[in-house]
Amino acid sequence: MTRHRLFRLNAYLVAGFSVFVATVFTLLFQLSLANTILPFYFVAVAISSWHGGLKPGMVAVVCSVICVNYFFIPPINTFTVTTLGDLIRLGTFFTVATIISLLNENLRNAKQQLQQLSDSQLQTYAMQLQQALKAAHMGMWSWNLVTGEVTWSPEHEQLFGLAPGTFDGRIETFEAFLHPEDRESLNQAIQTAVQGQCNYQHEYRVVWQDGSIHWVEGRGQVFYNATNQPVYMAGTIMNIDQRKQAELALMQSEERFRSVFEQSPLAMMRFAPDGRLLCVNPAWETMWGTPPQMLADYNILQDQQIAAIGDQPAVQRAFAGEVVDLPARFYDPALMGHSGQAHWVEPFLYPIQDCTGQVLEIILVSRDVTARKQAEQSLQQLNNELEQRVATRTAELKVLNERLLQSLSELQSSKQEVEDLYNQAPCGYHSLDAEGRFIRINQTELNWLGYEADEILGKQFTDFLTPEGIRQFQKNFPILKQQGWIHDLEYDLRCKDGSLLPISLSATAVKDANGNLVMTRTNVFDRRERKRIDQIKSEFISIVSHELRTPLTSINGALELLSTGLLKPESERGQQTIQIAAQEADRLTRLVNDILDLERLESGKVRLEIKPCNLADLMFRAADFMQLAADQAAITLTVVPLSLSLNIDSDRILQVLTNLLSNAIKFSPPGSTVWLTAEFSSPPYSAPSILFSVKDQGRGIPPTMLESIFERFHQVDTSDSRKKGGTGLGLAICRNIIEQHGGKIWAESVVGQGSCFKFILPLENSQ
């Protein structure tokens, strides 16, 4: 900032001094200049504006106007302008001087802009040159031959392994970098360039401070003075390590190629691009037995034998730059008038090209396949014989194959049958591994459990057991592993829906050669039916034992009273006792008859006596049979008849109606009503039928027992057999009779409101 201020101050001083000098010169030369007094002031303004710019120039203009007015316009030595002409002269001077100042300012600015542009371009060129030198691994140097001073660019220093700015400029330092073997040849190249006044170019090696050796190429020009004496050299230096490495690699490659060519066991020939033979290798001479001297004029493009066998186009493609691999050919040198042996050969033509794709030469490699061809001929003969044998054997194998296919088909069918038997068996099958995991299970057991196979396989058997079952399995599985079998174990398996499936299983162990368990084979049996039968048996025994014991006890007591004479048979008390014994004997008879009836019906030993029967009469007969029981129980019995003749076994249907009415009366409270109705029915009950209904107002039946009550010895409450009598066989007998008539029986009930037993008989045989 201070320097700038000094410059500005200096510009104003120059302006003032210029006006002062112009005034002195104008006063000195006033007489010589006559009326022209302004040139020196114009010069002062021009100098001021050129040196300092517009402002110093305008200061010079103002000062010049003041000086002209004071010293040269009358009245002299005053600042008064008396005439219009003098005022115009001052105005004109001021205008011209201002124009001169402005022109100088513009010229000065233009010069500065040109200088800045020139400096910028020079800097850009210098940077581009530096980047180009760096990219090309080049540096620049200069050598003053008079003073011996050497100058290197930073790139030059880096090419010699030095940091930029560390070269001391001494020629001795440069010589210290030279490889000892290259110093003399470099000095000779420099002397040749200086003495011969020609350009300098030489390749040499330099040794870096870390001991590594690098190749560089120096180029330069010698400059001479007026007396033709060398005074200066300048030039460039470039790293050529990669080129030298490429040249070395090329030399090594050529050496390897020459070694391969000479030592290859394959016959090889080299041809010029025009087809002339260049040379052959020793293997070629050995194979063909032809001296190379006899082939001095050989041209492969003019070989008539090659043209005769049709290979000339392939050879021409190779000379055009294409790799050509030809099939085996028989070639006889004698056909071309040359000595040598005939051979079967496989030719391979490989063009060698430069980087532009220009073919430099062609290599012809010939593989001798004569022995192979002879072997192929022998093999062909053997093949013909073998084909004959194969044809015979093929016919035999075809017959065997058909038999085998038939056996495989039968085996596959048997395998499928075994698989079907496994999956569709009436019992479950599964296999466990040594850890107790499922590895196989049949479809029957899957259906029981409600799972898919992928939901079971890989799971532990204990995952599907109850806690008690898990304890049993953990106890029995080691026994199975040890003794190899186990029988009749009972478990409860957990099904997918959460219910328990009672099963019994027997298993055998499959072991390896070391006696270790591989898997088990397990038979699983569903115990649900057995448990149901056991329950029925238990209920039957309980009911029958009660039903037998009660009347037998009454009969036994009555007979004992009569036999001991405690009661006289003719007495009123004796008659009552005999009547009780008779009733109990009748009850016992009914029990036995119910059991026998059900057994005969289920075994098919009872034949229905089908004949026309009026349904209304049958319904009233049933009501009449049960009227006494209804009256004793204070039950109102209502019949809604249907007058229709139907082909049925009237006795058996009457048995059904009386049984249903008896149950309705038995389980209805006093004062209630029991209805017996019949009506025509249509779907959804099935085909057109007669629908019978027996409805009561009793305690009702739970929904879960509406089906089971039709099973043998089954009652809603087993205590009913003691309180109300009955064996639990009546509804089972009814269902059997209705089904033999082609009908269906069921119950509908609401607990606490009563029950309605319904059955249908088809109208097929109605009249």
Give, in order, the Cα–Cα distances in Å from 480 to each of 445, 464, 469, 486: 21, 19, 16, 6
Which residue has better confidence, 723 or 175? 175
Please say whether the dihedral angle defined by the alpha carbons of residues 612, 615, 617 and 618, taken in this order, is positive or negative: positive
The stretch 235-257 carries a mean pLDDT of 83
What is the percent of the chain with per-residue pLDDT over 90, rounded to a whole number? Answer: 15
The four Cα atoms 243, 244, 250, 254 give a dihedral, to 10 degrees, of 150
The encoded tokens of residue 737 equal: 């009779």
Specify whether the backbone of 148 is left (phi greater than 0), alpha (psi in -120 to 50) or beta.
Answer: left
Q: Do residues 694 and 674 lie in contact, with contact meaning Cβ atoms separated by under 8 Å? A: yes
Lowest mean pLDDT among 54-58, 414-418, 537-541, 616-620: 537-541
Same-domain pairing of 5 and 139: no
- In a domain, residue 269? The reply is no
Buried b (16+ CB within 10 A) or exposed e, 435-447: eebbebbbbbbbe
Residues 434 and 567 in one domain: yes
Q: Are 45 and 97 in contact (CB under 8 A)?
A: yes
Q: What's the confidence (pLDDT) of residue 31?
A: 60
Quote the CA–CA distance of 752 and 637 in Å, as a whole number. Answer: 20
Q: Which of 64, 90, 114 is the last residue of a domain?
A: 114
Confidence of residue 685 (pLDDT cuts 50, 70, 90): very low
Helix ranges (DSSP H) in 289-369: 304-308, 312-319
Burial of 484 (0-12, 13-18, 19+ CB in 10 A): middle
The C-alpha atoms of residue 104 and residue 100 are separated, in whole angstroms, by 6
Give the distance, in angstroms, between the CA of residue 553 and the centroid of all CA atoms in the same chain.
85
Is the pLDDT reported for residue 98 higher than 90? Answer: no
Closest by CA position to 349, among listed 322, 372, 329:
322
What pLDDT is attached to residue 366?
79
Are residues 585 and 625 located together in one domain of the fold? no
In the predicted model, is pLDDT for residue 88 greater than 70? Answer: yes
Q: Any bridge partners for residue 486, and if so which?
A: 507
pLDDT at 661: 92
Residues 187 and 39 in one domain: no
User: What is the pLDDT, as a whole number, of residue 416?
Assistant: 77
For residues 653 and 179, what is the distance between their CA atoms, to the nearest angstrom? Answer: 135
Residue 754: predicted pLDDT: 92
Cα(618)–Cα(643) distance, rounded to whole angstroms? Answer: 10
The mean pLDDT value for 314-343 works out to: 74
For residue 580, pLDDT beyond 90? no
CA–CA distance, 665 with 628 (Å, rounded to integer): 11
pLDDT over threshold 90, residue 344? no
Q: What is the CATH number of the domain that holds 156?
A: 3.30.450.20
Residue 627 has pLDDT above 80, yes or no: yes
More confident residue, 54 or 491: 491
How far, in Å, CA of 201 to CA of 186, rounded? 9
In terms of domains, do 50 and 126 share one?
A: no
The CA-based angle 161-162-164, given to 5 degrees, is 135
| Same-domain check for residues 600 and 671 | no
Residues 440 and 580 occupy one common structural domain: yes
The whole-angstrom separation of Cα 598 and Cα 737 is 9
DSSP letter for 160, please.
T
Average pLDDT, integer, range 651-656:
88
For residue 722, pLDDT over 70 is answered with no
Which candidate, 500, 398, 516, places its Cα nearest to that of 450? 500
Report angle CA 573, 576, 578 to the nearest 5 degrees: 110
Q: Is the pLDDT of residue 351 over 80?
A: yes
Confidence tier at 716 by pLDDT (50, 70, 90): low
Q: Give the type of residue at 126.
A: A
Per-residue pLDDT, 721? 44
- How high is the pLDDT of residue 758? 94
Average pLDDT estimate for 37-48: 77
Of residues 469, 481, 472, the one with CA closest to residue 434: 481
pLDDT at 687 over 90: no
* Residue 125 pLDDT greater than 70, yes or no: no
Do the domain assignments include residue 44? yes
Distance CA 159, CA 165 (A): 13
Confidence check: pLDDT of 547 > 60:
no
**Is residue 678's pLDDT more than 90?**
yes
422 is a domain residue: no
Is residue 677 domain-resident? yes
**Enclosing domain of residue 718:** 607-762
Q: Is residue 255 part of a domain?
A: no
Question: Domain of 700: which CATH number?
Answer: 3.30.565.10
| pLDDT greater than 50 at residue 20 | yes
Give the whole-angstrom CA distance, residue 580 versus residue 92.
174
Tokens of 421: 């038997």
d(CA 654, CA 635) in angstroms, rounded, equals: 20
pLDDT value of residue 47: 82
Which regions of 618-661 does DSSP assign to beta strands (E)?
636-640, 645-648
Token pair listed for 545: 């034992």
Higher pLDDT, 172 or 414: 172
Greatest mean pLDDT range, 34-38, 295-299, 475-479: 475-479
What is the separation, in whole angstroms, between the first and last Cα of the chain?
A: 140
If asked whether residues 700 and 679 sit together in one domain, one would say yes
What's the mean per-residue pLDDT of the chain? 80
CB contact set of 278 (below 8 Å; sequence gap of 6+): 270, 271, 272, 361
pLDDT of residue 606: 61
CA distance 412 to 420: 12
The answer to whether residue 412 is domain-embedded is no
Least confident of 436-450, 573-587, 743-757: 573-587
Strands (E) located in 495-540: 500-511, 517-526
Q: What is the DSSP letter of 701?
A: -
Residues 713 and 746 in one domain: yes
Give yes or no: residues 749 and 611 share one domain.
yes
**Tokens, residue 226:** 């007026």
Residue 499: CB atoms within 10 A of its CB come to: 11
Same domain, 471 and 612: no
Domain finish residue from 570, 604, 638: 604
Q: Greater confidence, 81 or 316?
A: 316
Same domain, 595 and 617: no
Q: What mean pLDDT do residues 462-487 have? A: 90
pLDDT of 682 reads 66
In a domain, 257, yes or no: no
- Domain boundary at 63, 79, 114, which? 114
Q: Among residues 448, 440, 395, which one has the least CA distance to residue 419?
A: 440
Give alpha helix (H) positions in 53-83: 54-71
Both structure tokens of 614: 């009026």
Residue 327 lies in a domain: no
**With pLDDT > 70 as the criterion, what percentage of the chain qualifies?**
81
What is the total count of domains within the chain? 4
Helix or strand (DSSP H, E) at 2: helix 2-28
> 762: which strand partners?
689
Worst-scoring range by mean pLDDT, 281-285, 612-616, 643-647?
281-285
114: pLDDT strictly greater than 90: no
Q: How far apart are CA 61 and CA 76, in angstroms?
A: 20
Nearest by Cα to 322 from 310, 314, 330: 314
Instruction: Identify the weakest region by mean pLDDT among 189-203, 253-267, 382-396, 670-684.
Output: 253-267
Rounded to an integer, what distance in angstroms lies between the CA atom of residue 574 and that of residue 566?
9
**Locate tokens 């492969």: which residue?**
300
Q: How far is CA 649 from the centre of its chain?
A: 75
